[in-house]
Amino acid sequence: MGGFVTVGQAADVAEGQAKKYDVNGQEIGVARVGGALVAFSDICTHRGCNLIDGGEIDGTTISCECHGSVFDMATGAVVESPAVEPLPVFGVREQDGALQIEV
């Protein structure tokens, strides 16, 4: 990974919610789960659908509306197929209120 890029305010990502950010041409989702921020690719590894737009968050997982794949947002692991490849995950932090993603 390169360095951290400020994408917005950490307070904009509420508990149990996710937001999508374009970081250097990569679509990255950021969610707050159990008070912690997690960052992951917003692109489903099954067929390339966006996860944030229309996806459903349930605890630590997000499901893809296109074909029902479910991923762990913190690790990227596939929880339920049809996807077999995990999501790329990214470092994320809150620095003086700013939301920063490592790319």
Residue ranges covered by each domain of the chain? 4-102
Please write the tens of the pLDDT for every residue from 33-73.
Answer: 999 999 999 999 999 999 999 999 999 999 999 999 999 99
Indicate the pTM of the whole model. 0.94
Q: What is the dihedral of CA 75, 10, 63, 46, to 10 degrees?
A: -60
Domain 4-102: CATH superfamily, name plus number? Rieske [2Fe-2S] iron-sulphur domain (2.102.10.10)
Q: How far apart are CA 61 and CA 79, in angstroms?
A: 8
